[in-house]
Amino acid sequence: MKTIRNKQVCYWSNKAALIFITIILLLLTGYLYTRSSFSFRFVDEEYNFTIGNYLLKKEILYDDIITNHQPITHIFSAYVQKSSKPNSIYFLVKRHRGAIAVWSLIWSIIFIIYFGLSALLFTFVYEVTKSYLFGNLFLAESLVVYPLLFLYGVIIYKKSLVNPLLVVFSGICIGICLFLLTPIWPALFLFILLFFTRQKKYFDKSLLYLLVGVLITLVFIFKYSSLPGYIDYIYQTLTYTIPTYHGSESWILTILKSLITPLLSFVNSELTPTNLLIRVFSLLLITNLIFLILRRRFRETLIIICLLGLTNIRFVQPGTGHYSGFHMLPWFSVLLFISLSLSLQNLKQKVGILFKMSNILLILLIIILSVNYAKSVFLQQEDTQKNYLIHYSTYIDRGEIIKVMKDTSDTLFVSRDSWMVYWQSDINHLPKLFGYYPWMSGIPSLKSLVLDQFHKNPPTFLYCDNCIGSELERFLNKYSVVKKK
């Protein structure tokens, strides 16, 4: 009995030490990322801010305001703004970057509790390198990383799922991922299949507890969202948005490329800081997959390849960064976590010196490259006020002009990307309509709604950036240009 108690004390002491290290790391990186909040701006993040602000005015997603994104990021933004009450774009951006830091801190602690040393190594490397793929911004791709990895960790570490709380929590993670990012749905469906394959003996109870977790998320989501409107959003996404984004490439080819993305990082890819890391992650993964194959663990190998591949089903070529590469962030994080987890698990077994040394050297190389990348990001000098004015002064000025001129019943329509004009002017948008991209003209119901509103109920103010050649060009002659003196 005493031996068992001593083991438990040692176990939780080690966990406490790992958690302490993680908290220090996340507080430091959170501070550094928040300090550099204005080094660049991104319209997808501002899209979330602005819709979140309208939710605070009791608007309902997919009914009062149509969005082409999943709901959770908008809802989380509303909570951030409700709790922090930013009175300027400066504090709006700051508070959301801080919210991402807090989100990462909370999830990394949960991660450490369940997955130990590999979670700590992952957290260190990911947190200091994620900025190249916009992981420090308030985006669905940033928010989904830790909940998704928790689910993958349950499979990879073969965690016992007889604990009802773990199953309920897994259900919550599924719900969060479902309503954050549509492109990871295929990977989630594979996880659910694997989950119930492992839970044959406890199928009924597992299904019940999992549904309880998902239901908790559903209650949260549909407090702010219209169910019929959400169903229509899914229909429009599957029918129009995904085919438009995917283009003419065969789905078979896309799936094949997603499955072999680690190999593609060595072919026709620019050697960016992120792709250099991806190549080392891939070498570590391939080394350990070969080890599994040699041990005849084919099923485990296939599961890992499929989970990783389906995470990049919205295929992005490795090495793509910043504005073109942020969609790859979930895959980047999964590749890192699986590679480290497999390596540490395999090193615990009886292995040859060559295998052991190659794994240790690759992990050390990952840490060195991560530190080197972090130095280039965190030690860069930034003129905060200058960057803030460069990125946001135009929208502040335009928003203030509209705020002075508007009446209570006036409306604004922005197209496209200048979402902060909505936030700064604090004006109503057109009924249901928020923004309009050229590719949206391929969605018949949305195109019809936009044209109908401009004919019958045109907005009082139109902020149109590069409208020439779009459907909105025909309406420009109805508006007078307001210029700042």
pLDDT in tens, 172-223: 999 999 999 999 999 999 999 998 888 777 778 888 999 999 999 999 999 9
User: How do residues 90-123 score in pLDDT, each as one tens digit?
Assistant: 999 999 999 999 999 999 999 999 898 999 999 9
Residue 441 has pLDDT above 90, yes or no: no
| 388 pLDDT higher than 70 | yes
**Is the pLDDT at 261 greater than 80, yes or no?**
yes
Instruction: Count CB neighbours of 204 within 10 A.
Output: 9
User: What pLDDT does residue 162 have?
Assistant: 67
Per residue, the 3-state secondary structure of the chain, as one string, reads CHHHHHHHHHHHHHHHHHHHHHHHHHHHHHHHHHHCCCCCCCHHHHHHHHHHHHHCCCCCECCCECCCCCCHHHHHHHHHHHHHCCCCHHHHHHHHHHHHHHHHHHHHHHHHHHHHHHHHHHHHHHHHHHHHHCCCCCCHHHHHHHHHHHHHHHHHCCCCCCCHHHHHHHHHHHHHHHCCCHHHHHHHHHHHHHHHHHCHHHHHHHHHHHHHHHHHHHHHHCCCECHHHHHHHHHHHHHHHHHHHHCCCCHHHHHHHHHCHHHHCCCCCCCCHHHHHHHHHHHHHHHHHHHHHHCCCHHHHHHHHHHHHHHCCCCCCCCCCHHHHHHHHHHHHHHHHHHHHHHHHHHCCCCCHHHHHHHHHHHHHHHHHHHHHHHHHHCCCCCHHHHHHHHHHHHHHHHHHHHHHCCCCCEEEEECCCCHHHHHHCCEECCECCCCCHHHHHCHHHHHHHHHHHHHCCCCEEEECCCCCCHHHHHHHHCCCCCCC
pLDDT recorded at residue 4:
58
Answer whether residue 2 shows pLDDT above 70. no
* pLDDT for 400 beyond 80: yes
pLDDT of res. 111: 92
Q: Give per-residue pLDDT as tens, 354-365.
A: 999 999 999 999
Per-residue pLDDT, 159: 63
311 CB-contact burial (10 Å; exposed 0-12 / middle 13-18 / buried 19+): buried
Q: How far apart are the first and last CA of the chain?
A: 82
pLDDT band at 327 (very low <50, low <70, confident <90, very high): very high
Instruction: Read off the pLDDT of each residue in 238-261 and give the average, rounded to a whole number.
Output: 89
Confidence check: pLDDT of 484 > 90: no
Tell me which of 270-274, 370-374, 420-424, 425-429 is least confident.
270-274
Kindly tell me if the per-residue pLDDT of 3 is higher than 80.
Answer: no
- pLDDT for the residue 247: 78
Task: Give residue for tokens 């492992």.
Answer: 198
pLDDT at position 442: 83
Which pLDDT score is estimated for 485? 60
pLDDT number for residue 164: 86
Band (pLDDT 50/70/90 cuts) for residue 416 is confident
- Give me the pLDDT at residue 7, please: 66
For residue 160, is pLDDT > 70? no
pLDDT at site 378: 87
- CA atoms of 401 and 93, how far apart (whole Å): 21
Predicted local confidence at residue 161, as pLDDT: 66
- The reported pLDDT for the residue numbered 16 is 87
pLDDT mean across residues, the chain:
90
Mean local confidence (pLDDT), 163-178:
93
